[in-house]
Amino acid sequence: MRRRKSKSFLVLFFKKEHLSSLPEVTIPPAPPTLAPRALIVIGIVALSMAAGTTGLQSVMPALGRKIGVADWQVAGAFSLSALLWTLASPVWGRISEQRGRKPLMLLGLGGFAVSMLGCGIDVLAGLHGAAPPLWIFGGFAVLRAIYGLLGSAAGVASQAYVADNTAGAARTASLAQLAGATGLGTILGPAVAPLLVFPGVDLSGPMLGFGVAAILVFLMVRLTVAESARAERIGAALARPVVAPGLWRDRRFASLLVCGLLLTSAQAVNGFVVGFQVIDTLGRDPAQAQRFIVYVLIAGSAVSLVAQWGVAAWLRLPAAWLLRLGLAAACGGNVVLVAAGGYGALLLGYALACFGYALARPGFAAAMSLAGMEHEQGWAAGAVSAVNGACVIATPMLGVLLYEASHTAPFALNAVLLFGLFVWRLNRHPAPSGAIGARG
């Protein structure tokens, strides 16, 4: 019996020695997952801000003339807001890496609420003649500046939150759904704004209504959205001041940023010029052509929703291919607009272009996110948000000037530009990164 026990002990000993010499195996962490409820709430954030912005834009031309403010002053206030949005977004991206995503979402929603409610009160004072038009315009410009500075934080933090909790194709699909929520907001804003015009508040009603809605969304985020687990994990490591990387000089991001800026600028040209093209194509009085302009805009928004909530979610293409497919479709739409000889062709061309932009923009956002490492998601989101703001600072004016020179010039330029971007991206491969799910 002793000999048998001794033998068993030796066998056990040698087995342990053998096992101890094996290399350690590291089990990779489970891929991040985004709770459906969190995505819905973040989508509501994007929807409410888009609805408020476009709802305000829909009433401002009539409101400016009723108060006695020049058209260029109204446009100037929105351009100032877009400029500040562009400058502030990268800063919020860096801060979100240090402070977390949720606080930045709340800050952006708070800034949006203050801006909307303040604009409503300011405009209401102007409607009742409580102050000279110049003072009213000054107050409105300052309040829109608050939106540009603070409201941009919500968009940056929302995208970074999605990136923290998704990987690969799931990230691309989730960002497309987030973009779809923004697109739905652009439809609902102008549709809801007239319903908020009440006796006593008149055209300031939409601003007051969207401001109250922003407060409700603020409370929803505060009570239902948990902080990103990734942000909690690296928050301590990034507590010290950090210098943002030079994304424009980083080979992983630089070409994508150039592509994104040109892509969004082309879309801005289409959006601002289409109304003039409808009027000139129909040869009618602007007031008579207004409903036909609305039909075109609704068609563009509808196909954008189909692209982002249907096609992108169903195909689950890698970000690079979603961007390429979108560029090709947008180019085709502008080619149709160049050749359009009637209202039907114009509507088809604009819808096809919107379909392409609706695929390409989330593809660009996802490609930026996937190109970055884990600690760079806030910076990547800030850069995407900055590009989205930069495209509406001066590009619309350039598009209108080109249209005045030749009715086909802006669409021909867009077609050439988008085709060039498509060929360029077709011959490029995603740069390697350390991000989870960076392939795609």
- 10-residue mean pLDDT series, the chain (440 residues): 46 46 49 79 94 82 76 78 90 87 94 95 88 88 94 92 84 85 85 84 88 96 82 48 56 86 91 84 78 84 87 82 94 94 92 94 88 78 85 80 89 96 81 42
- Say what the pLDDT of residue 6 is: 46
167 CB contacts (<8 Å, ≥6 apart)? 31, 32, 435, 436, 437
> 198 phi and psi, to 5 degrees?
-110, 155
Tally of CB atoms within 10 A around 147: 27
CA distance 114 to 135: 19
CA distance 417 to 403: 16
Whether the CA torsion 280, 283, 285, 290 is positive or negative: it is: negative
250 CB contacts (<8 Å, ≥6 apart)? none
Domain 34-244 in CATH 3.40.50.300? The answer is no
> 239 phi and psi, to 5 degrees?
-65, -30
CA distance 22 to 16: 10
Q: Which residues of 197-228 are buried (b: 16+ CB within 10 A; e: fewer)?
A: eeeebebbbbbbbbbebbbebbebbeeebebb
**Residue 47, Cβ density class (10 Å: 0-12 exposed, 13-18 middle, ≥19 buried):** buried
- Say what the pLDDT of residue 276 is: 83
- Say what the pLDDT of residue 11 is: 43
CA distance 88 to 92: 6
User: DSSP string covering 402-421, please?
Assistant: HHHH-TTHHHHHHHHHHHHH
Closest CA to 435 of 255, 145, 228, 165: 165
Helix (H) / strand (E) containing 109: helix 101-127
The answer to whether residues 382 and 180 touch, using CB atoms and an 8 Å cutoff, is no
Domain segments of the chain: what residues?
Answer: 34-244, 246-440
Same topology between domain 34-244 and domain 246-440: yes
Closest CA to 116 of 80, 140, 135: 140
Q: Which residues are 198's β-sheet partners?
A: 202
CA distance 75 to 228: 37
> 202 phi and psi, to 5 degrees?
55, -135
- 149 token code pair: 């500075």
Instruction: Give the 3-state DSSP-derived string for 353-373, with helices as H, strands as E and coil as C.
Output: HHHHHHHHHHHHHHHHHHHCC
Closest CA to 395 of 266, 256, 263, 255: 266
- Say what the pLDDT of residue 30 is: 54
What is the CATH superfamily name and number for domain 246-440? Answer: MFS general substrate transporter like domains (1.20.1250.20)
CA 207 distance to own-chain centroid: 21
CA distance 80 to 384: 19
The answer to whether residues 113 and 154 touch, using CB atoms and an 8 Å cutoff, is no
> 359 phi and psi, to 5 degrees?
-85, -40
Helix (H) / strand (E) containing 302: helix 286-305
Residue with tokens 């969190």: 38
Residue with tokens 């923290």: 164
3-class SS at 423? helix
**Residue 432, Cβ density class (10 Å: 0-12 exposed, 13-18 middle, ≥19 buried):** exposed
Helix (H) / strand (E) containing 254: helix 254-282
